[in-house]
Chain A
Amino acid sequence: MSEEISSVVDIDQQEYIINIGPQHPSTHGVLRFVVSLQGEVVKSLQPHIGYIHRGIEKMCENLTYQQIIHLTDRMDYLSAHTNNEAVCLCVEKALGIEVPERVKYIRTILDELTRLASHQLWWCSFGMDLGGQTCYFYGLRDREKILDIFEETCGARLLLSYNTPGGLMWDIHPNFQKRIKEFIKYFRKKLPEYDAILTGNVIMHQRTEDIGILSLEDAISYGITGPTARASGFSCDVRKRYPYSAYDKADFKEIIYTKGDTFHRYQARMDEMWESMKILEQLVDNIPEGDFTAKMKPVIKLPEGEYYQRVESARGELGVFIVSKGEKYPYRMKFRSPNFCNLAIMNKLTSNFKIADLIAISGSLDLVIPDIDR
């Protein structure tokens, strides 16, 4: 540890080290940055991860495919449904099952609801990182409505566990569509308020514009995905490029910004919220009748081989890689989590910016720490 630090700090230039995290209000979890500073200017930054490592990938090797689902909830807990879906899609792909159309639609709707809920929480915590604490409560207030929809249909607010290989645990609640329509009507009124309080604000503009510029080359070579990469002009939306579930039936725009600074990352996510609502509006009335699950054997054994499935979670591309030896447990399970890759760019983005910018940049990357450590 001491060696690492001494290699980073330039004492002659009056640099010093501070620890941001693991217990710090703005790391949104137990992430630790070892930052070497010169005055207030960040010279270099080292992320230290592993404080919430639970060995989910290893635990998966002793669980059946149905049981794995509930663990994936606990990775990126803000897009729990997307994580579940990734595993389910991978297993279905391996088995070669086609799930009913109804399932696809419901999964897509829940995906977008998850994305909205996740972006809302990101918005409020980003506002709080910048120091505007009122944002936090407005975001949470609106997110609560989505969580109610989840709770009514899935039985849980955060860790849904609603998917199962082959379909869904149970059918949607009769109120499901009505509530979503109510929510969209409500949220279309509230989203301009977000803009009024934070997006248009001159302080926020000055704090985010031209801060932490992520170039397109860096975005690609570091494997950055999600809104973070799309703000740099990297068209990487899995929903568009490798459509899964019912995304090919929805008409939506891939949000692309070119500058790649903190403000564009912010703007990309704000626009994605509008797009998500558009997708929801298109799908919510057209859920086809049918079964909520495909016919599945009680014990799922994947044929021997390697399988990969990617989905677009709220933070970027989530990949699930399964190596199967033909047993009911996977031989190896690997998650390509978007946050882990997005974190890697932190050092490059923050160097020669101030501490306040470091907080804004890490907020704009929208990191969820349990997803990094798994």
Chain B
Amino acid sequence: MKSFIKYISDIFSGVASLLKGMRVTGKYFFSPRAIVTQQYPENRHKKGKKKLEMFDRFKGEVIMPHSENNQHKCTACGICENNCPNGTIEVISVMNIGEDGKKKRALDKHIYRLSMCSFCALCVKTCPSKALAFSQEFEHAVFDRKKLIKILNKPGSTLMKGIE
């Protein structure tokens, strides 16, 4: 008799536990407000409520901010190149003769290979003149691999005044 009671109670407790789970899924079925999906290409534009905004610290890709006068802060010291664990960065510098007649190193090309970058942020963090930064760009897909090799300094840009 005892085992029979257990048999019956097993059935009821089992069904009750199943119904508990069904209550959760059933509740979500009837509450479309709980939907968390964001529809990607649409949410980039301002149309919908949930606009896609990356956090300002998001490590999208390394960029070199330029001022309005097309000036950057990079002194071509090469610390970022040394600190990069993957060989992502290559700094090509030229020797310019300054106004006072002294030789001075200046940036020719700051090559950044996005395809090799692992976003460890060591280059940005170690840069002594804060020349590098992260952009929040995340759509990196391109059709040609060569496009992932980027030259960060804009053509014709010069070093910002007051940065050694």
A residues within 8 Å of B by Cβ? 63-64, 66-67, 69-71, 134, 141, 144, 148, 151-156, 159, 161, 164, 169-170, 173, 193, 196-198, 200-203, 205, 298
Q: Are B119 and A67 in contact (CB under 8 A)?
A: no
Cβ of B24: which chain A residues have Cβ within 8 Å of it?
193, 196-197
User: Of B13, B14, B21, B54, which one neighbours A198 at CB under 8 angstroms?
Assistant: B21
Complex Cα distance, B36 from A55, in Å, reads 38
User: Of B17, B23, B57, B85, which one neighbours A70 at CB under 8 angstroms?
Assistant: B85
Complex Cα distance, B23 from A134, in Å, reads 13
Which of chain B's residues has its CB closest to A132's CB?
B21
Q: Are B120 and A70 in contact (CB under 8 A)?
A: yes
| Contacts known (A152-B57, A156-B59); A161 close to B120, Cβ less than 8 A | yes
B125 at the binding interface (Cβ < 8 Å): yes
Which of chain B's residues has its CB closest to A148's CB?
B55
Q: Are B120 and A200 in contact (CB under 8 A)?
A: no
Q: Are B21 and A63 in contact (CB under 8 A)?
A: no
Which of chain B's residues has its CB closest to A203's CB?
B18
Q: Are B36 and A200 in contact (CB under 8 A)?
A: no
B71 at the binding interface (Cβ < 8 Å): no
Cβ of A141: which chain B residues have Cβ within 8 Å of it?
36
Q: Are B85 and A151 in contact (CB under 8 A)?
A: no
User: Of B20, B59, B83, which one neighbours A66 at CB under 8 angstroms?
Assistant: B83
Interface membership of chain B positions 121-133, coded 1 if the CB is closer than 8 angstroms to chain A and 0 otherwise: 1100110000000
Q: Are A67 and B57 in contact (CB under 8 A)?
A: no
Q: Are A201 and B17 in contact (CB under 8 A)?
A: yes
Complex Cα distance, B26 from A196, in Å, reads 12
Interface membership of chain B positions 14-48, coded 1 if the CB is closer than 8 angstroms to chain A and 0 otherwise: 10011011011100000000001000000000000
Contacts A/B (CB < 8 Å), 29 sampled: A64-B83, A66-B122, A67-B122, A70-B118, A70-B119, A70-B122, A141-B36, A144-B36, A148-B55, A151-B58, A155-B55, A155-B58, A155-B119, A155-B134, A159-B118, A161-B119, A161-B120, A169-B125, A170-B57, A196-B21, A197-B20, A197-B21, A198-B21, A200-B21, A201-B20, A202-B13, A202-B17, A205-B17, A298-B126
| Contacts known (A67-B83, A200-B21); A161 close to B57, Cβ less than 8 A | no
Cβ of B58: which chain A residues have Cβ within 8 Å of it?
151, 155-156
B residues within 8 Å of A by Cβ? 13-14, 17-18, 20-21, 23-25, 36, 54-55, 57-59, 83, 85, 118-122, 125-126, 134
User: Of A71, A134, A159, which one neighbours B85 at CB under 8 angstroms?
Assistant: A71
B127 to chain A, nearest CB (A): 12
Total A-B residue pairs with C-beta atoms closer than 8 Å? 73
Complex Cα distance, B85 from A353, in Å, reads 46
Q: Are B120 and A69 in contact (CB under 8 A)?
A: yes
Complex Cα distance, B114 from A1, in Å, reads 41
Complex Cα distance, B119 from A169, in Å, reads 13
A73 to chain B, nearest CB (A): 8
Cβ of A144: which chain B residues have Cβ within 8 Å of it?
36
B65 to chain A, nearest CB (A): 17
Given contact pairs A155-B58, A155-B134, enumerate 11 new A-B contacts (beta carbons under 8 Å): A69-B120, A70-B118, A70-B120, A148-B55, A152-B55, A155-B119, A155-B121, A159-B118, A196-B23, A200-B17, A200-B20
B34 to chain A, nearest CB (A): 9
B143 to chain A, nearest CB (A): 26
Cβ of B14: which chain A residues have Cβ within 8 Å of it?
202
Complex Cα distance, B130 from A170, in Å, reads 14
Which of chain A's residues has its CB closest to B79's CB?
A298
Q: Are B85 and A169 in contact (CB under 8 A)?
A: no
Cβ of B55: which chain A residues have Cβ within 8 Å of it?
148, 151-152, 155, 173
Complex Cα distance, B13 from A156, in Å, reads 45
Q: Are A201 and B21 in contact (CB under 8 A)?
A: yes
A284 to chain B, nearest CB (A): 19
| The 3 nearest A-B residue pairs measured at CB | A70-B120, A67-B85, A202-B14
